[in-house]
Amino acid sequence: MKRRSTTRLRSFLPVYILLIPGMLYLLVNNYIPMVGIISAFKRINVNDGIFFSPWNGLENFRYLFLSGAAGDIFRNTLLYNTAFIVVTTVVAIALAVLINDVASTKLKKLYQSAILLPFTLSMVVVSYVVFGFLSHENGLLNNTLLESDPIQWYSEGQYWPAILIIVNLWKTVGYSTLLFLAALVGVDRSLYEASSLDGANRWQQVLTIDLPNLFPTIVTLTLLAVGRIFYSDFGLFYQVPRNSGAIFDVTTTIDTYVYRALISAGGIGQSAAAGFFQAVIGFVLVLSVNAAVRKYQRSSALF
Amino acid sequence: MYKQSRTYRLLAHTALLLVTLSMFLPLVLVFMSSITDESTLITDGYSFWPQQFSLDAYAYIAANSETVFRAYGVTVIVTIIGTVVGLFLTSTMAFALSLPELPGRRVLSFLVFFTLLFNGGLVPAYIMWSSLGVRNTILAYILPSLLVNAFNVILMRTYYQVTIPAEVYEAAKIDGASYFRIYFQLVLPLGKPILVTIGLFIALGYWNDWTNGLYYVSNPDMFSIQTFLNRMIQDIQAISSNNTGTSVTSNVPAVSVRMAISFVALLPLLIIYPLLQRYFAKGIMVGAVKG
């Protein structure tokens, strides 16, 4: 018996050998930094590294909250992500319904590939694209529509919630639309025929056929997004506002704060403290959301 | 086939056409701005149809082409190495975790999966990679992103489980094939579609990445194209500054050069996009039904 299990193990030896590089990589890239999260409770200096720097209790957290940064960055991260979830979901559903109705395969393909184009661009390029519209001196808007009354976009905070929501929509809506489209493709077309014989118009069909069929996807995607609500798209918030200090109060999220604090003199402590909050709250949220998805629809749960 | 009413179809196509335009037009603005005469730009700003065209910006880039070529070189090398190594790590792990009878599979799966749920954040990772000496080397672009998303491992594992029937393994084992041979001669070739799909996503990630450059690279000789573009936001002179410290910047057509360089950075992607988008669309939908 024992012999048999050792030969069995031996036959798997190549599999374990194949696993070594990947596991080693996860150990270095993921697991060691996980332990490094204790840096939030230390007075880090780069010479001593995380493990040999002296402890300093909750001092980093005290700075984070006393500086007033904590309130802003948590509020911005939460509010922007909430807006992104709502706006992107609604628009993506509308687009998926419209594209699914297109009879010509060629046009369908064209629409699909067009809406996915921004998804493949880097945020740096996107920031140049936005700059083309908003640049104070050379931007398209200030030289055409707003010629008589130009707006200093990069220094006036009140416009940025709208700008960031639009840019995020432009960049990500294609991805969500394809996910919804995948769910709609399976719907039996004869359902529409039958309901239209019953006198239903397209809007009523959306309510009675499309939305019920999309519902599982909507719930799953929304819950997963809620699980990541403490994580912001670093590129969007760092690149698109062009690091403009005048609008930091409406454009700084946890991720951009962590980066800026990290590279500022003496800011590494607050940076680690904010990162600690993000990791821990994010972890709890993902677990609870997954439990919710599991309850609702087992097959869509992450685990 | 059932059809909607005429008015509805008209409205739907109009809406979709407008959306399609809104996806393209911003990129057209970048291109048109890049071929606009510098003094026209200064008086009229960026526009879709400039008064005065000029290729000065591209001439300027050509005159300083060494910087751009070098940055492209870095990006190409990083993308190729990163994609190959990343795919190797992803597929070996996916293969191992796809074997139901592998002893310890549950623990190993958990170790992979947990990295999706919890991470130490930027500060520990930054200190660790810096202390490992990757700063200002090509490794700074490659190493931190090799398995940027453990979700790919799960996708690939599911693909192997669903598409490669158990009989294939049985037959191979009866023939006396080891798991090495099964992986290299059966699983890799049979799983080619998923390798291509995930490989393209990994490659796109490397091609577009500017964050590793921001964190770990300060030497202009080592800039990738995205890092270069990012530095140029703050410093238009980045293009002409070279090692010797001398720079000729007095007559940089700065306003148009910005757009020209973004377009140069964008171009390869635009060219292969018609080919790529099919795979991306498929990959996204595969993720949707991850199983």
Provide the β-strand partners of residue A42: A55
Residue B251 included in any domain: no
Task: Report chain B residues whose CB lies below 8 A from the CB of A23.
Answer: 93, 108, 111
**CB under 8 Å to A63, separation ≥6 — which residues?**
A269, A270, A273
Half-sphere exposure of B140 (CA within 13 A, CB side): 24
Task: Report chain A residues whose CB lies below 8 A from the CB of B90.
Answer: 22
Please report the beta strands in chain B, taking only residues with DSSP state E, as ranges in sequence order.
none
Nearest to B23 among A49, A114, A142 (CB): A114
What's the pLDDT score for residue B247? 46
Q: Using alpha carbons, select from B142, B113, B120, B109 the residue that is nearest to residue B216.
A: B142
Residue A162 included in any domain: yes
Nearest to B16 among A111, A132, A192 (CB): A111
Residue B107 included in any domain: yes
Q: Using alpha carbons, select from A234, A223, A241, A303 the residue that is nearest to residue A275.
A: A234
Task: Judge contact between B12 and A123, C-beta under 8 A.
Answer: no
The one-letter amino acid at A300: S
Nearest to B46 among A138, A235, A279 (CB): A138
Residue B26 included in any domain: no
What's the pLDDT score for residue B119? 87
Q: How far is A139 from chain B (nearest CA, A)?
A: 6
Q: How far is A261 from chain B (nearest CA, A)?
A: 10
Minimum Cα–Cα distance from A34: chain B residue: B120
Task: Report chain A residues whose CB lies below 8 A from the CB of B280.
Answer: 116, 119-120
Residue B268 included in any domain: no
Q: Do A32 and B128 touch (CB under 8 A)?
A: yes
What's the pLDDT score for residue A1? 47
CATH number for position B108: 1.10.3720.10
Model pTM score: 0.91
CATH number for position A101: 1.10.3720.10
Q: Do A137 and B99 touch (CB under 8 A)?
A: no
Q: How far is B242 from chain A (nearest CA, A)?
A: 22
Nearest to A138 among B9, B255, B284 (CB): B255
DSSP secondary structure code for residue A252 in this structure: -
Residue showing tokens 């293009």: B239
Nearest to A120 among B3, B96, B269 (CB): B269
Q: Using alpha carbons, select from B168, B233, B30 the residue that is nearest to residue A117.
A: B30
Minimum Cα–Cα distance from A196: chain B residue: B4
Q: CA-based diameter of chain B, in Å?
A: 78
Residue B14 included in any domain: no
Which residues of chain B are modeled with pLDDT < 70? 1-3, 236-251, 287-291
Residue showing tokens 């109009």: B14
Task: Judge contact between A210 and A187, C-beta under 8 A.
Answer: yes
Task: Report chain A residues whose CB lies below 8 A from the CB of B115.
Answer: 26, 30-31
* Domain extent for B223: 65-239
Tens digit of pLDDT at every position of chain A (303 positions): 455 677 778 889 999 999 999 999 999 999 999 998 888 998 888 777 788 888 988 989 998 888 888 899 999 999 999 999 999 999 999 999 999 989 888 999 999 999 999 999 999 999 999 999 999 888 999 988 888 889 999 999 999 999 999 999 999 999 999 999 988 988 888 888 888 888 888 889 999 999 999 988 898 888 888 888 999 999 999 999 998 889 999 999 999 999 999 998 888 889 999 999 999 999 999 889 888 878 877 766 666
Residue A93 included in any domain: yes
Residue B54 included in any domain: no
The one-letter amino acid at B167: E
Task: Report chain B residues whose CB lies below 8 A from the CB of A194.
Answer: none
The one-letter amino acid at A225: A
Task: Report chain A residues whose CB lies below 8 A from the CB of B9.
Answer: 101
Rounded to whole angstroms, the Cα distance separating B286 from B114 reads 22
Minimum Cα–Cα distance from B10: chain A residue: A102
State both tokens at B100: 């139901």
Rounded to whole angstroms, the Cα distance separating B260 from B62 reads 11
Nearest to B4 among A18, A135, A202 (CB): A202
Minimum Cα–Cα distance from A116: chain B residue: B277
Minimum Cα–Cα distance from B115: chain A residue: A30
Task: Tell me how many domains chain B contains.
Answer: 1
Q: Do B226 and A124 touch (CB under 8 A)?
A: yes
Task: Report chain A residues whose CB lies below 8 A from the CB of B86.
Answer: none
What's the pLDDT score for residue B145? 93
Query: Does residue B176 come out as left (phi exceeding 0), alpha (psi in the -120 to 50 range) or beta?
Result: left
Task: Report chain B residues whose CB lies below 8 A from the CB of A22.
Answer: 89-90, 92-93, 112, 147, 153
Task: Judge contact between A247 and A156, C-beta under 8 A.
Answer: yes
Minimum Cα–Cα distance from A184: chain B residue: B285
Residue B72 included in any domain: yes
Q: Do B119 and A114 touch (CB under 8 A)?
A: no
Task: Judge contact between A286 and A278, C-beta under 8 A.
Answer: no
Task: Tell me how many domains chain A contains.
Answer: 1
pLDDT tens-digit map of A14-61: 999 999 999 999 999 999 999 988 889 988 887 777 888 889 889 899
State both tokens at A169: 């929509």
Rounded to whole angstroms, the Cα distance separating A15 from B93 reads 9
Q: How far is B108 from chain A (nearest CA, A)?
A: 9
Q: Do A190 and B285 touch (CB under 8 A)?
A: no
Output the CA torsion B208→A177→B200→B231 (10° steps): 0
Task: Report chain B residues whose CB lies below 8 A from the CB of A39.
Answer: 123-124, 127
Residue A208 included in any domain: yes
Kindly report the average pLDDT of chain B as a whole number.
87
Q: Which of A8, A18, A179 to mutate to test the interface with B (most CBs of B within 10 A)?
A: A18
Minimum Cα–Cα distance from B234: chain A residue: A242
* Domain extent for A131: 59-300
Task: Report chain B residues whose CB lies below 8 A from the CB of A235.
Answer: 210-211
Rounded to whole angstroms, the Cα distance separating B27 from B1 reads 37
DSSP secondary structure code for residue A264 in this structure: S
Q: Do A113 and B281 touch (CB under 8 A)?
A: yes
Residue A200 phi, psi (nearest 5): -80, 140
State both tokens at B63: 């005159």
Q: Using alpha carbons, select from A181, A183, A171, A185 the residue that is nearest to residue A88.
A: A171
Q: What is the DSSP string of A85-149?
A: HHHHHHHHHHHHHHHHH---HHHHHHHHHHHHGGGGS-HHHHHHHHHHHH-TTT-HHHHTTTTTS
Task: Report chain B residues whose CB lies below 8 A from the CB of A28.
Answer: 128
Rounded to whole angstroms, the Cα distance separating B145 from B24 reads 29
pLDDT tens-digit map of A78-117: 999 999 999 999 999 999 999 998 988 899 999 999 999 9
State both tokens at A119: 């998804």
Half-sphere exposure of B153 (CA within 13 A, CB side): 29
Q: CA-based diameter of chain A, in Å?
A: 89
State both tokens at A261: 């604090």
Minimum Cα–Cα distance from B202: chain A residue: A120
Helix, strand or coil, per DSSP, at residue B27: helix
